[in-house]
């Protein structure tokens, strides 16, 4: 298994091994699942309360379906760990985090200084997403 | 002949492998034979060029200052420059140069 | 026009710093070209045939003179003294050095400009009607909505690695001047029977190798749901657009394969869900943006009189100006298509001159059009002659809008590494043959559009006459299309038959115009005649 390089959670690390979405829907006691780009994240919605970890795989960083998967899960109220695995590169990090990822396990470990700069790059953001940050339009209209 | 061409990493300029280095003039191009891939790996590795590739071409008898002719029109336009702006080409003072690409 | 506040400025400055760092990592060898390529593309930096090319965004085609001046200065300082205005209302520089790009982006940021998302598989610069805020026929100024969408789409974290590029256009009048239905999403601002403004959505239009006209997917989206609805359209596309084949990855293929009804159903389902997510900016934000687009201080009661005693001026007024909503004012088009010139190219001096003239005579505003021309949106009629004189002295006063001289042409094989054939020399030959005032008067409105390959950057599918460059065993060859149109009655051109060489295609265009002239009935444009008599008479004349 690939190591988690960055994690933004205070709870205990989850080491349960993740099963595929197909296996998961049949195997009712698994607590971790891995979503591939072609899987429908919504298939997991009825089971969120017993999941601790959802891995979202990026076989190639240019395939952006995983961003939508993570947001769908967060929008449905999932509070467990969402971990980006696979071809995770520096310039994706802040966007992944904005979409609800809170753990990162890149195939190739990233330069920690570059990664930190990437996570901290944007002081403000234009959109409301799953990360709960106040978008610029909300800051503009605060009374 | 096999010609190796690419773009200068810093400036983007079209360059041609001369056997020892890079030139902006296609007429300096050397025949790289089977060595193209090896040279590309080395030269791209040290940040000299990027987007390098090997093309077919031929050595021609000297005519109007041309001695090397890439086989495809696209590479002849790369060698000369935009045919619609002769002033910005390799041969700004030669109005006939445009005919060489066709 | 819109002005950045400190938030907008900070976003753009941050991006410059980020790219400066990426360029540094590339030059030092930390990043390979393979890793760097997508990063440079998201900042508009391509590799073209001769050098790097930088594409600068002109959001919804609107510029002020300070911005235009900087565009001219960049051409001098970092390029070879000229720029190319494109069909996407942007500007491209053809001779950029990688080491200069962070500085160029910093210069742009100082005048609230950038090259963000002008390439790559993300939401691109949003285009709009070049007459926005000036035309008499608009329901409302479309630009505030385009600006709202610009902010939403900039660095949208979910939509930066879509299946393919994504282009949005926003218009607000019946006359479509932005080829709205040939965009991935077209938005038309409309008024509903209750008198409220809202957005009508079209999805799945596009050109390229499989041109399609986007069908309407929703008649009316209320203003306080505009972003939410757009997000739903994008999310369905991001999740289900094809990623197995780059040529089938545009949203037009998804909409086509699912069918408009099924795509719409999925969007509506996603939309219903997203409405509960609090992602919509408040209407107060739209109001904030709108205040930047209020009318300039027009002079009440300005005279509608024009002295047309100069015949060249008269011709230009007839051809190149358009009615303004304000009495005493007019919209003036600067054609960047001199006879034998390069469509869309302008020198640094010309760019700066237009900037100065806009300051003096058009309330500091200019527009870039998808036909690769420049617009002075608000000119007082009393100033029009002085403006035209100044333009004409700089070679910018030609009267040929929407005629055979006003050709759209992509860079083609003179600049573009994807090209099959050169576009510009064909445009030059055609404009030389048909560019005279007499020819233009005879032939009238005829939109001719040329692309150097199937990607259709030159909109050849949408030309009354279209020309497509193809590669015939290493030799340039050109196909002729007839009957395309990008206006409200959008249609796609049809190929006449076998292709031609460079001179042959110019002759074929001439024959097509002859068929038109001998068949036209009163008041018919070329396109009208073609639509009435069909392809056959043209085919016969061209190949017979
Ligand atoms: C030289 C650099 C350029 C490259 C590499 C390039 C590449 C492409 C490609 C690959 C497509 C097809 C996309 C698809 O079908 O999925 C395309 C479409 C398009 N490009 Fe370009 N292009 C370039 C320059 C331009 C210029 C100069 C313009 C404006 C004059 C332009 C405007 C457009 C438009 C309007 C479309 C078609 C509309 C569409 O299908 O969305 N491009 N371009
Ligand atoms: S249509 Fe083809 S040749 Fe023309 S600019 Fe686009 S990609 Fe290049």
Distance of CA C83 to the CA centre of its chain: 15
B40 CA to centre of own chain: 14
**Between C536-543 and C502-519, two packed helices, what is the crossing angle to 10 degrees?**
130
Domain that holds residue C463: 408-543
Residue A35: is its pLDDT beyond 60? yes
Q: Where are the alpha helices (DSSP H) in C291-405?
A: 311-320, 348-361, 381-393
Q: Cβ distance B43 to B61 under 8 Å?
A: no
Say whether both C17 and C44 belong to one domain.
Answer: yes
Q: What is the pLDDT of residue B102?
A: 86
pLDDT of residue A1: 57
Which of C256, C290, C324 is where one domain is finished? C290
pLDDT bracket for residue C359 (50, 70, 90)? very high
Q: What is the DSSP letter of A2?
A: P
Chain C residues bordering chain B (beta-carbon distance below 8 Å): 26-29, 33, 47, 49-52, 80, 94-99, 342, 413-415, 417, 419, 422, 424-425, 428, 474-476
**C89 and C149 share one domain:** no
Cα separation, A140 vs C222, in Å, equals 22
Closest in B10, B46, B82 to C99, CB measured: B10
Of C483, C475, C488, C491, the residue nearest C527 (C-alpha)? C483
Closest Cα to atom 2 of ligand 2: C453
**Chain B residue closest to C97 (CA)?**
B11
Adjacent-strand bridge partners of C83: C346
Containing H/E element for A5?
A: none
Predicted pLDDT of residue C223: 98
Residues near C10 by Cβ (< 8 Å), separated by ≥ 6? A123, A124
A13 is written with which tokens?
A: 């690390």
**Residue linked to tokens 């990664």:** A115
- The answer to whether C369 and C375 are in contact (CB under 8 A) is yes
In sequence order, the 6+-apart residues with CB closer than 8 A to the CB of C247 are: C209, C210
Q: The tokens 């024009």 sit on which residue?
A: C306
φ, ψ for residue A135, nearest 5 deg: -70, 165
Question: Over the Cα atoms of chain B, what is R_g?
Answer: 13
Residue pair A79/A100 in contact by the 8 Å Cβ criterion: no
Look at the block and give the residue holding tokens 């009354």: C464
Structural domain includes residue C311? no
Query: Is residue C119, in this structure, part of any structural domain at all?
Result: no
Q: Whose CA is nearest to atom 21 of ligand 1?
A: C457
Task: Return the pLDDT at C474.
Answer: 87
- When divided into structural domains, chain C yields a total of 4
Give the Cα separation of C44 and C33 in Å (integer): 15
pLDDT tens digits along A50-102: 999 999 999 999 999 999 999 999 999 999 999 999 999 998 999 999 999 99
Question: Residue C199 belongs to a domain with what CATH number?
Answer: 3.30.413.10
Alpha helices, DSSP H, located in A10-135: 21-26, 65-75, 93-98, 112-119
Answer for the pair C417, C433: CB distance below 8 angstroms, yes or no: no
pLDDT band at B91 (very low <50, low <70, confident <90, very high): very high
Average pLDDT, chain B: 95
Q: What is the CATH number of the domain that holds C389?
A: 3.30.70.3340
Would you say C469 and C413 are in contact if contact means Cβ atoms under 8 Å apart?
Answer: yes
pLDDT of A16 above 90: no
> How many CB atoms sit inside 10 A of residue C540's CB?
11
Residue C542, both tokens: 């061209």
Residues C159 and C61 in one domain: no
Do C386 and C434 belong to one domain?
no
Q: Is the pLDDT of residue A143 over 80?
A: no
Residues C187 and C274 in one domain: yes
Give the C-alpha separation, C71 to C56, whole Å.
9
Residue C466 Cβ inside 6 Å of ligand 2? The answer reads: no
Tell me if C98 and B9 make a contact (CB, 8 A cut-off).
yes
Cα-to-chain-centroid distance, residue C61: 8
A93-97, B16-20, B37-41, C32-36, range with the lowest pLDDT: C32-36
Q: How far apart are CA C208 and CA C248, in angstroms?
A: 11
Residue C67 has pLDDT above 90, yes or no: yes
User: Residue A140: closest CA among chain C residues belongs to which residue?
Assistant: C285
Kindly state whether residues C536 and C436 are assigned to the same domain.
Answer: yes
| Residues C328 and C386 grouped into a single domain | yes
pLDDT per position as a tens digit, C379-411 = 999 999 999 999 999 999 999 999 999 999 999
> Is there a contact between C455 and C208 (Cβ–Cβ < 8 Å)?
yes
Do C420 and C521 belong together in one domain? yes
Expressed as residue numbers, the domain containing A34 is 6-140
For residue C164, the CA-to-ligand 1 centroid distance in Å is: 12
Q: Are residues C267 and C173 in the same domain?
A: yes
8 A C-beta contact, residue A119 and residue A97: yes
- Calculate mean pLDDT across residues C170-191: 97
Mean pLDDT of B41-65: 93
Which residues of chain C neighbour A126 with C-beta distances below 8 Å? Answer: 11, 151-152, 154-156
Handedness of CA C378, C384, C389, C395 (dihedral sign): positive
**pLDDT digit string (tens) for B66-85?**
999 999 999 999 999 999 99
The helix/strand/coil state of B5 is: strand
Report how far apart, in Å, the C-alpha atoms of B88 and of each of B16, B80, C55, C95, C418 are.
Answer: 18, 9, 20, 10, 21
The answer to whether position A1 is within a domain reads no
The answer to whether residue C307 is domain-embedded is no
Instruction: Report yes or no on C94 lying in a domain.
Output: yes
Distance, in Å, from the CA atom of A25 to the CA atom of C478, rounded to the nearest integer, reads 56
Q: Is C452 in the pocket of ligand 2 (CB under 6 A)?
A: yes
3-state secondary structure of C89: coil
Which residue reads 């080409």 in tokens? B89
Strand ranges (E), C319-409: 321-323, 329-334, 345-347, 365-368, 374-380, 408-409
> Do C78 and C153 share a structural domain?
no
Exposure of C305 in the CB half-sphere (CA atoms within 13 A): 4
Residue of C nearest to B73 (CA): C474
In a domain, C169, yes or no: yes
Alpha-carbon span C84 to B29, nearest angstrom: 31
Q: What DSSP element (H or E) covers C469?
A: strand C465-472
> How far, in Å, CA of A14 to CA of A32, rounded?
9
Residues of C in contact with A89 (CB under 8 A): 35
Cα separation, C406 vs C18, whole angstroms:
40
Instruction: Determine the average pLDDT of the residues in C155-164.
Output: 97
CA C276 to chain centre: 35
Mean pLDDT of C11-40: 92
Whether C427 maps to a domain, the answer reads yes
C538 contacts C482 by C-beta, under 8 angstroms: yes
- Give the integer Cα–Cα distance in Å for C482 and C154: 38
């Amino acid at each position: 298994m690939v190591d988690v390089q960055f994690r933004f959670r205070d709870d205990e690390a989850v080491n349960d091994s993740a099963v595929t979405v197909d296996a998961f829907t049949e195997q009712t006691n698994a607590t971790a699942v891995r979503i591939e780009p072609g899987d429908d994240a919504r298939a997991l919605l009825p089971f969120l309360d017993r999941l601790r970890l959802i891995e979202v795989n990026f076989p190639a960083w240019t395939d952006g379906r995983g961003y939508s998967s993570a947001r769908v899960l967060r929008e449905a109220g999932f509070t467990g760990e969402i971990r980006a695995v696979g071809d995770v590169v520096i310039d994706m990090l802040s966007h992944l985090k904005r979409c609800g990822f809170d753990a990162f396990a890149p195939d190739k470990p990233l330069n920690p200084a570059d990664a930190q700069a990437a996570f901290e790059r944007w002081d403000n953001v234009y959109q409301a997403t799953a990360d709960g940050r106040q978008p610029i339009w909300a800051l503009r209209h605060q009374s | 002949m096999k010609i190796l061409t690419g773009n200068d990493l810093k400036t983007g300029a079209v360059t041609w492998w001369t056997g020892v280095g890079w030139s902006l003039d296609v007429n300096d191009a050397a025949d790289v034979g089977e060595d193209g891939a090896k040279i590309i790996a080395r030269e791209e590795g040290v940040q000299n060029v990027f987007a390098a590739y090997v093309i077919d071409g031929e050595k021609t008898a000297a005519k109007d200052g041309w001695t090397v002719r890439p086989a495809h029109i696209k590479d002849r336009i790369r060698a000369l420059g935009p045919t619609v702006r002769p002033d910005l080409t390799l041969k700004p003072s030669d109005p006939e140069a445009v005919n060489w690409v066709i | 026009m819109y002005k950045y506040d400190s938030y907008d400025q900070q976003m753009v400055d941050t991006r410059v710093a980020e790219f400066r760092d990426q360029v540094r990592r590339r030059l030092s060898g930390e990043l390979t070209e393979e890793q760097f390529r997508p990063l440079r593309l998201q900042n508009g930096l391509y590799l073209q045939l001769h050098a790097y090319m930088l594409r600068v965004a002109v959001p919804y085609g609107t510029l002020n003179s300070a911005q235009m001046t900087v565009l001219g200065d960049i051409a001098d300082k970092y390029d070879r003294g000229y720029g190319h205005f494109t069909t996407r209302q942007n500007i491209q520089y053809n001779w950029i050095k990688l080491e200069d790009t962070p500085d160029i982006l910093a210069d742009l940021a100082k005048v609230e400009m950038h090259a963000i998302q002008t390439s790559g598989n993300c939401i691109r610069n949003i285009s709009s009607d070049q007459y926005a805020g000036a035309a008499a026929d608009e329901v409302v100024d479309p630009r505030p909505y385009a600006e709202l969408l610009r902010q939403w789409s900039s660095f949208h974290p979910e939509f930066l690695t879509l299946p393919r590029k994504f282009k949005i256009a926003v218009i607000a009048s019946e006359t479509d001047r932005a080829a709205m239905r040939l965009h991935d999403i077209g938005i038309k601002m409309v008024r509903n029977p209750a008198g409220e403004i809202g957005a009508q959505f079209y999805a799945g239009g596009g050109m390229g190798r499989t041109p399609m006209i986007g069908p309407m997917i929703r008649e009316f989206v209320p203003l306080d749901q505009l972003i939410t609805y757009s997000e739903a359209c994008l999310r369905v596309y991001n999740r289900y657009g094809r990623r197995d084949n780059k040529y089938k990855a545009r949203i037009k293929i998804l909409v086509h394969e699912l069918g408009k009804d099924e795509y719409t159903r999925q969007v509506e389902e996603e939309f219903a869900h997203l409405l509960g997510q609090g992602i919509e900016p408040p209407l107060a934000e739209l109001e904030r943006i709108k205040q930047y687009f209020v009318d300039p201080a027009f002079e009440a009661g300005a005279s509608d009189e024009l002295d047309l005693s100069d015949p060249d001026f008269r011709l230009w007024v007839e051809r190149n100006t358009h009615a303004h909503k304000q009495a005493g004012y007019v919209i003036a088009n600067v054609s960047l298509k001199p006879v034998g010139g390069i469509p869309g190219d302008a020198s640094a001096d010309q760019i700066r001159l237009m900037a100065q003239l806009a300051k003096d005579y058009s309330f500091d505003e200019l527009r870039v059009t998808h036909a690769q021309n420049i617009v002075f949106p608000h000119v007082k009629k009393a100033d029009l002659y002085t403006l035209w004189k100044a333009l004409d002295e700089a070679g910018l006063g030609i009267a040929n809008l929407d005629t055979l001289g006003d050709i759209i042409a992509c860079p083609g094989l003179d600049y573009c590494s994807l090209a099959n054939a050169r576009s510009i020399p064909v445009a030059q030959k055609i404009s030389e043959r048909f560019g005279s005032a007499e020819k233009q008067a005879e032939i009238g409105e005829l939109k001719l559009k040329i692309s150097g390959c199937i990607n259709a950057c030159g909109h050849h599918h949408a030309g009354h006459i279209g020309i497509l460059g193809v590669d015939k065993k290493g030799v340039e060859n050109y196909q002729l299309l007839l009957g395309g149109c990008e206006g409200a009655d959008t249609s796609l051109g049809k190929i006449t038959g076998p292709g031609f060489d460079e001179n042959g295609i110019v002759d074929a265009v001439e024959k097509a115009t002859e068929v038109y002239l001998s068949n036209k009935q009163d008041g018919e444009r070329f396109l009208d005649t073609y639509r009435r008599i069909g392809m056959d008479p043209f085919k016969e004349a061209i190949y017979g």
